């Protein structure tokens, strides 16, 4: 009897949720299966970025993958465009999130023409970019921003590399320390605020012990 | 056994020899706080640490409302210079007695409307809630005018949503409490970029702002003029 009552209360809750289904593609599914906590870490970085960016902003998410974080940006900030060169990942994002607040494009960052974003978000990309190409990359990020736009750049700390899995290590060609990330960002922004993250906790503690680094740049320099 | 004890003491004495002989005598405000609510020292210092991490290293730092300078060692540790201003003369005397580094100066003054220079970082923690609403514009204007073009402004204040839990002395002094939206709105008048953080205990975070005990706003890229 009691069980029936509880179920009758749960049914309307389910009705309110609707019948939508979200597909998790190959890359995220791999993480979900092998190391589910990484999804949690990544979402917390996106949340941190969204909170700093604020409401009613137009955000570009570079290297958005399947766009699960882009969706968070779209919901929290108002408008998000996700770009990635992986067409399969972009296809999944496009199918999952059909909403006027979000759009995806399979495009190389250097082919992007739009220039006046309020914010650029870029997680787990720079460590895959060869050191000799970082200059062009950061400059292009700066070019995508409005004069008062902000850049939120996240990358694993070089000090955490010794604990990384072989598959992760295989892709990393340009790992940063907190100091080097700040130095690099200072070339393109007047103000750089550096944060560390361990698990889901974003903080300002001793940087060499941070697992992940997040740099926030604002007031871009004239190129 | 006895020999071992002696050895350990010797080791410890060597450690003590490496430390300065300096002692610190807190003023009445912080002596009271430490007696009545010692955990206060932890969360107040954490606010200063966050402020210092956001913009004190190699910077010219101004603190508006420094009281006894409890945050001075953290703000000045890696700073180029530090100037603390407070209208409470007894507090400033305690600050001067305790923090006498070459890069550190204090001024006993009511800072509202005054300009002390063009600073890289202007910090004001637990001050704006004591400023009458009629003077709040002047407070933010003072912040603005003391900042260099590349300056960073850091303002911290208890969340209005936490006021019902505040102690009687705290409540008595608070004449102008802010929620996150109003703090952002005031900072938006002088800065292009404003970031709002919440603090619960010593934890700085970006969680749901109405449940944050304390609010801290970081502003940078100052506007050409203050918006009205």
Identify the structural domains of chain A with CATH numbers, from first to last.
2-220 (3.40.50.150)
| CB–CB contact B221 A193 (8 Å) | no
pLDDT reading at A3 higher than 80: no
**CB-based contacts of A121, cutoff 8 Å, min separation 6:** A46, A49, A53, A59, A60, A61, A62, A69, A73, A151, A152
CA–CA min distance A32, chain B (Å)? 25
Confirm if B60 and B123 have CB atoms less than 8 A apart.
no
ipTM: 0.83
B147 touches chain A (CB under 8 A): no
Tell me how far apart the alpha carbons of residues B6 and A210 are, in angstroms, rounded to a whole number.
Answer: 40
Q: Which residues in B lie closer than 8 A to residue A47 (C-beta atoms)?
A: 206
Q: pLDDT of A112-155, one tens digit each? A: 998 899 999 999 999 999 999 999 999 999 999 999 999 999 99
Confirm if A118 and A90 have CB atoms less than 8 A apart.
no
List the single range of A29-43, A58-72, A111-125, B173-187 with lowest mean pLDDT.
Answer: A29-43
Nearest to A218 by CA among A187, A183, A178, A191: A191
CATH of region B40-222: 3.40.50.150
Q: Which of B75, B203, B220 best tests the A interface by mutation, with the highest count of A CBs <10 A?
A: B220
Nearest to A49 by CA among A215, A219, A221: A215
Tell me how far apart the alpha carbons of residues A153 and A156 are, in angstroms, rounded to a whole number.
Answer: 11
A203 touches chain B (CB under 8 A): yes
Instruction: Characterize the bridge pairing of strands A212-220 and A189-198.
Output: antiparallel
Among candidates A47, A51, A218 on the partner chain, residue whose Cβ is nearest the Cβ of B220 = A218
- Classify residue A73 as exposed, middle or buried by CB count within 10 Å of its CB (0-12, 13-18, 19+): buried
DSSP conformation class of A222? P
* 3-state secondary structure labels for all residues of chain B: CHHHHHHHHHHHHHHHHHCCCCCCCCCHHHHHHHHHCCHHHHHHHHHHHHHHHHHCCCCEEEEECCCCCCCHHHHHCCCCEEEEEECCHHHHHHHHHHCCCCCEEEEECCCCCCCCCCEEEEEEECCHHHCCHHHHHHHHHHHHHCEEEEEEEEEEEEEHHHHHHCCHHHHHHCCCCECHHHHHHHHHCCEEEEEEEEEECCEEECCCHHHCCEEEEEEEEECCCCCC
Tell me how far apart the alpha carbons of residues B122 and B64 are, in angstroms, rounded to a whole number.
Answer: 7
For B195, the closest chain A residue by CA position comes to A52
Q: Which residues in B lie closer than 8 A to residue A51 (C-beta atoms)?
A: 196, 206
| CB–CB contact A191 B193 (8 Å) | yes
Instruction: Give the Cβ contact number of residue A98 at 10 Å.
Output: 9
* Three-state secondary-structure class, residue A200: coil
**CB-based contacts of A175, cutoff 8 Å, min separation 6:** A127, A155, A156, A157, A158, A161
Residue A2 has what pLDDT? 63
| CB–CB contact A219 B193 (8 Å) | yes
pLDDT reading at B117 higher than 60: yes
Tell me how far apart the alpha carbons of residues B217 and B155 are, in angstroms, rounded to a whole number.
Answer: 5
Q: Which residues in B lie closer than 8 A to residue A150 (C-beta atoms)?
A: 193
Nearest to B68 by CA among B121, B124, B107, B29: B29
Residue A114 has what pLDDT? 86
Q: What is the mean pLDDT of residues B192-217?
A: 96
Q: pLDDT of A189-216, one tens digit each? A: 999 999 999 999 999 999 999 999 999 9
CA–CA min distance B50, chain A (Å)? 7
Q: Which residues in B lie closer than 8 A to residue A216 (C-beta atoms)?
A: 195
* Three-state secondary-structure class, residue A106: strand
A221 touches chain B (CB under 8 A): no
Confirm if B207 and B140 have CB atoms less than 8 A apart.
no
For B184, the closest chain A residue by CA position comes to A54
Q: What is the mean pLDDT of residues A172-200?
A: 96
| CB–CB contact B54 A52 (8 Å) | no
CB pairs under 8 A between A and B: 43
Residue B176 has what pLDDT? 97
Nearest to B63 by CA among B53, B76, B54: B76
* A122-153 core/surface letters (b: 16 or more CB in 10 A; e: else): bbbbbbebeeeeeeebbebbbbbbeeebbbbb
Residue B3 has what pLDDT? 56
Domain ranges of chain B: 40-222
B31 touches chain A (CB under 8 A): no
Q: Which residues in A lie closer than 8 A to residue B55 (C-beta atoms)?
A: 193
Confirm if A121 and A98 have CB atoms less than 8 A apart.
no
Nearest to A51 by CA among A70, A73, A67: A73
For A192, the closest chain B residue by CA position comes to B54
A21 touches chain B (CB under 8 A): no
Q: pLDDT of A14-56, one tens digit each? A: 888 888 889 999 989 988 888 888 899 999 999 999 999 999 9
A152 touches chain B (CB under 8 A): no
Q: Which residues in A lie closer than 8 A to residue B56 (C-beta atoms)?
A: none
Q: Flag whether the pTM goes above 0.80.
A: yes
For B204, the closest chain A residue by CA position comes to A203
For A51, the closest chain B residue by CA position comes to B206
Residue B4 has what pLDDT? 60
């Amino acid at each position: 009897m009691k069980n029936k009552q509880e179920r009758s209360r749960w049914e309307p809750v389910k009705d309110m949720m609707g019948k939508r289904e979200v597909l998790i593609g190959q890359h995220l599914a791999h993480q979900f299966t092998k190391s589910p906590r990484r999804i949690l870490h990544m979402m917390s970085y996106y949340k941190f970025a969204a909170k700093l960016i604020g409401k009613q902003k137009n955000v570009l998410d570079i290297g958005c993958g399947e766009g699960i974080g882009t969706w968070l940006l779209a919901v929290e900030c108002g408008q998000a465009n996700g770009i990635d060169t992986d067409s399969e990942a972009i296809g999944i994002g496009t199918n999952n999130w059909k909403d006027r607040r979000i759009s995806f494009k399979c495009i190389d960052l250097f082919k992007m023409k739009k220039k006046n974003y309020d914010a650029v978000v870029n997680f787990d990309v720079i460590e895959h970019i060869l050191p000799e190409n970082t200059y062009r990359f950061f400059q292009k990020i700066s070019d995508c921003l409005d004069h008062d736009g902000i850049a939120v750049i996240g990358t694993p700390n070089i000090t955490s590399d010794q604990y990384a899995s072989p598959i992760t290590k295989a892709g990393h060609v340009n790992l940063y320390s907190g100091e080097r990330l700040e130095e690099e960002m200072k070339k393109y922004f007047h103000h750089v605020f550096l944060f560390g993250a361990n698990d889901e906790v974003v903080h300002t503690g001793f940087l060499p012990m941070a697992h992940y680094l997040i740099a926030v740049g604002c007031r871009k320099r004239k190129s | 056994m006895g020999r071992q004890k002696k050895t350990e003491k010797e080791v410890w004495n060597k450690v003590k020899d490496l430390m300065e002989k300096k002692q610190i005598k807190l003023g009445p405000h912080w002596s009271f706080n430490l007696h009545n609510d010692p955990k206060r020292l932890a969360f107040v210092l954490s606010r200063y640490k966050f402020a210092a991490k956001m913009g004190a290293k190699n910077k010219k730092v101004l603190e508006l409302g420094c009281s006894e300078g409890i945050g001075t060692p953290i703000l000045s540790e890696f700073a180029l210079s530090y100037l603390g201003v407070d209208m409470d003369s007894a507090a400033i005397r305690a600050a001067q007695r305790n923090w006498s580094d070459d890069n550190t100066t204090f001024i006993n003054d009511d800072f509202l409307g005054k300009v002390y220079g063009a600073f890289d970082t202007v910090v004001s923690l637990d001050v704006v809630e004591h400023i009458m609403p009629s003077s709040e514009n002047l407070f933010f204007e003072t912040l603005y005018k003391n900042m260099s073009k590349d300056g960073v402004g850091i303002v911290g204040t208890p969340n209005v949503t936490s006021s019902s839990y505040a102690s009687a002395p705290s409540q008595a002094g608070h004449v102008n409490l802010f929620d996150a939206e109003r703090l952002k709105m005031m900072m938006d008048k002088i800065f292009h970029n404003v970031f709002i953080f919440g603090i619960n205990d010593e934890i700085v975070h970006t969680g749901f702002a109405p449940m944050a005990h304390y609010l801290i706003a970081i502003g940078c890229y100052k506007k050409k003029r203050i918006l009205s």
